[in-house]
Amino acid sequence: MDHHYTTLELCHALEGSSQHIPSHQRFHSFAIDSRKIQPGDLFFSIVGENTDGHLYIEQALTNGAQGVIANKERLPSKLQSSKIPLILVADPNMALRDLARDYRSRLKTGRVLGITGSNGKTSTKEIAANLCRFLYPKTNATQGNFNNFIGVPLTILSASLDASWWVVEMGTNHFGEIQTLSEIVKPDLALITNIGESHLEFLESTEGVAREKSGIFAGMSPGAIVAIPSPLLHSTIVSQQAIEHDINLVRYGFTNWKSDIPPDYKATLLDCSAEHTRFEFQSHVFEVATGNLLLLGNLLGVLTLLHLQNEPLELLSEAVRTLNFEIKGRMQIRNMESYVLVDDTYNANPTSFCEVIQSVQKLYPDRRLLVVAGAMAELGKHSANLHFQLGANMPKLGVKYLFTFGYNDAQYYREGWKSQEKNQSTVFHTVDLEKLVSTFNGVVKTNDVVLVKGSRSACMEQFVNAVISYENRSRHS
């Protein structure tokens, strides 16, 4: 934090009361992990699913914490009567959000870009952060995918008040979370990457996802700009929510995108390969070191917003040339000895899975496509059916061989595949990694393209690591 909060200011912002701590005591940094306390820090006793920060207050104080945010009822019994420096609040988790909300109000000259969507949030955040950083070195952005009720406040509180840009990623898996985060972040402008079948366990349907993602409008000022892709699913829901919040929706898209509503800002692909793309936007030619169509779409969304902020297109073109799209587990293309391995193991849902298959097909139209799939998580009661439908759709999308791996609902890919594919020997399922690798090595051929994808819980990176290790051993044997 750039701003030093006194105990009195903290009590006011957090609706708390202090004990055994001077009202003029100043805090300039904080922590939620007692192991990472720096001398003078303020320790938030965050309550998580698996632990409770109140149990680590003594460790935090031993490590140099100068004060503790806590709930009195949750204090361990031996600390109830101790004279430790406390700011007592009803809910330390809420207090963290309240402090972030107060800190955001102190940003006077910088701009805040909020990013949400079913897929591509983190990669879009990286694109936006790097473009903004090229234009304005003082740019802060979400680290990793810290996009929830803990991560977003941490992002805000770690940002500089003299920064030109804050780029903040916002995620959700329950109704109302995006609205709450938006009311903390108060984006000056925002981007919704897409609407898809994500977090259906609690959001129930893609219509529910559209309503939830539209929550980003809640913290924005009337007339603020939000960019959406022209073929956005349930755009009627999003548009209606935008009208209710007096948000200015702008649509972006490439001229070859199929959409019922034409984009307000469009780009034309000039040439595209796996490693390089040229496209024209607002009469300027942009060159970028990727052929990933999903990343190109997200890049166009960011460019649209920055163009509308009157950033010079000449400088944006220079900035785009500097982008590095090598993000681990996100459409990471590895040239193996005889085939191409596309590592997209970071996460998965039905929408992103189909989009990635189509993107890979366009990059390598003349090659045989194999898919190695792990289960998709957080799909609730729809899970088995969505796995089945995706498996049934894969042959239609051009997949020639399907490997499915793991427990949960991964087996339903296979059942769906079998319902559509006459050649039943083109699908293989196992829960044994060694068997998966050996079977795969017996099937893969020279010039094949192999897409590996699954949710984080499926740990499909272990397959990627296994085949890389196998190839390395083969080369040295």
> What is the pLDDT at residue 201?
64
What digits encode the pLDDT tens for the residues 312-357? Answer: 999 999 999 999 877 777 788 889 999 999 999 988 888 889 989 9
In 45-110, the DSSP E strands lie at 67-70, 86-88
DSSP β-ladder status, 30-31 and 225-229: unpaired
> What is the pLDDT at residue 200?
65
Q: Where does residue 125 rank: exposed (0-12), middle (13-18), buried (19+ CB within 10 A)?
A: buried
Can you tell me the distance from the alpha carbon of 164 to that of 131, in angstroms, rounded to the nearest whole number?
12
> What is the pLDDT at residue 198?
66
How many percent of the chain have pLDDT more than 90?
77
The more confidently predicted of residues 477 and 319 is 319
Mean pLDDT of the chain: 93
Q: What is the mean predicted confidence (pLDDT) over 66-73?
A: 96
What are the structural domains of the chain?
A: 5-98 (3.40.1390.10), 107-321 (3.40.1190.10), 332-476 (3.90.190.20)
Percent helix, strand and coil across the chain, each rounded to 5?
Answer: 40, 20, 40
> What is the pLDDT at residue 199?
62
In 71-110, the DSSP E strands lie at 86-88
Can you tell me the distance from the alpha carbon of 449 to that of 87, in angstroms, rounded to the nearest whole number?
57
What digits encode the pLDDT tens for the residues 97-129? Answer: 999 999 999 999 999 999 999 888 999 999 999
> What is the pLDDT at residue 422?
77
User: Cα 419 to the chain's mean position, in Å?
Assistant: 33
Indicate the pLDDT class of residue 477, thresholds 50, 70 and 90. Answer: low
The more confidently predicted of residues 330 and 137 is 137
Element (H, E) at 241: helix 235-244
In 255-326, the DSSP E strands lie at 265-272, 277-281, 284-288
User: Cα 107 to the chain's mean position, in Å?
Assistant: 24
How many percent of the chain have pLDDT more than 70?
97
φ, ψ of residue 138 in degrees (nearest 5): -85, 80
Furthest C-alpha separation in the chain? 76
Q: What is the mean predicted confidence (pLDDT) over 209-232?
A: 96
- Ranges 1-5, 17-21, 77-81, 250-254: which has the least confidence: 1-5
Does residue 7 contact residue 22 with C-beta atoms inside 8 Å? yes
Q: Is the pTM of this model over 0.75?
A: yes
> What is the pLDDT at residue 329?
72
What digits encode the pLDDT tens for the residues 262-304? Answer: 999 999 999 988 789 999 999 999 999 988 888 999 999 999 9
> What is the pLDDT at residue 476?
64
Q: What is the mean predicted confidence (pLDDT) over 219-236?
A: 96
Q: What is the mean predicted confidence (pLDDT) over 7-34?
A: 95
Can you tell me the distance from the alpha carbon of 412 to that of 385, in angstroms, rounded to the nearest whole number?
8
Indicate the pLDDT class of residue 90, thresholds 50, 70 and 90. Answer: very high
Name every residue whose Cβ is closer than 8 Å to that of residue 72 and which is 6 or more positions away in sequence.
80, 88
10 Å Cβ neighbour count for 268? Answer: 12
What digits encode the pLDDT tens for the residues 441-476? Answer: 999 999 999 999 999 899 999 999 999 998 888 776
Residue 352 Cα distances to 193, 295, 390, 393, angstroms: 11, 12, 11, 13
Indicate the pLDDT class of residue 415, thresholds 50, 70 and 90. Answer: very high
Indicate the pLDDT class of residue 412, thresholds 50, 70 and 90. Answer: very high
What digits encode the pLDDT tens for the residues 352-389? Answer: 899 899 999 988 999 999 999 999 988 888 899 999 99
User: Cα 353 to the chain's mean position, in Å?
Assistant: 15
Q: How long is the chain?
A: 477
